[in-house]
Structure 1
Amino acid sequence: MNEMYDMSIVTHNYGVIGILGTIFINILMLVKATDIKKYVRAVSLFMPIGMTIIGAVVFSGVVMMASKHLDFTIENIVMIAFAIALIVLENKRSKTLQYLDKKREDALTLYRVYAYNIFKIEILMVLAISTWMWI
């Protein structure tokens, strides 16, 4: 049981680093974007990777909770809330991009402001919970 718990902690930590990595890759894609249609295509191909990494973090957290006999601590509840918030923010960002009027010339500029705000919130959330857990 201890081996499963230790492996889950390592997987969980790498998953959190992966979430930060995908956020930074999304920011980089947005910074380099010049054409809204190409950007939408790139995001639609990259979005499943980000969601898979969030799923890996949630799954490794579930394995850790199972090995601790489903011991709900305040840390676990906060992590569950943060995971749900990350999923909701990513879906809001995706939906906004999906329903954006791509014929407008300033569509990418308007979307950038919105997406940067979401990315800031996501980075702060991940860093806050990580700092709390690693201290």
Structure 2
Amino acid sequence: MNEMYDMSIVTHNYGVIGILGTIFINILMLVRATDISKYVRAVTLFMPIAMTTIGTVIFTGVVMMAAKHLDFTVENIVMIIFAIVLIILENKRSKNLHALDEKQEGALELHKVYAYKMFKIEILIVLVISIWMWI
């Protein structure tokens, strides 16, 4: 049981690093975006990868909770809330992107401002919970 818990912690940490990696890849795609339709296609193809990394962290967290006999601590509850917030932020960003009018001038620039704000919040959430757990 301890081996499963230890492996789950390592996998959980790599999953958190994966979330940061997917956020930075999303930022890179946004920085390089010049055409709305190409950017929407790239984000649509990349979204399952981003959601899978969030799912990996949630799954390994569930495995760790099961190994601890479903012991709900404050840290576990906060991590669950942060995971839900990350999913909501990603969905809001995606909906905003798909609602863009491709013919409107400056639509991509308006989305970039909105998306950068979302990415900053996501990075802050991941770093805050990571620092809290590692200290």
TM-score between the two structures when normalised by the length of structure 2: 0.99
Corresponding residue for residue 40 of structure 1: 40
Structure 1 residue 102, shift from structure 2 partner: 1.2
Aligned partner of 2:107 in structure 1 is 107
Deviations 1:46-84 (A, max 9, x none): 000000000000000000000000000000000000000
Equivalent residue number for residue 49 of structure 2 = 49
- What is the CA-CA distance between 1:91 and the residue it aligns to? 0.2
Deviation, structure 1 residue 89: 0.2
Structure 1 residue runs without a partner (length 5+): none
Please list, as runs of the form range in 1=range in 2, the aligned pairs for 1:1-135 lying within 5 A after superposition.
Answer: 1-135=1-135
Identity of aligned residues (%): 80
Structure 1 residue matching 2:18: 3-state secondary structure? helix
Q: Which runs of 4+ in 1 moved over 2 A?
A: none
Tell me the amino acid that sits aligned with residue 123 of structure 2.
I
Q: CA deviation at 1:100?
A: 1.0
C-alpha separation in 1, matches of 2:109 and 2:8? 41
- Give the count of matched residue pairs: 135
Q: What is the alpha-carbon root mean square deviation over aligned residues?
A: 0.4
Give unmatched runs, 5+ long, in structure 2: none
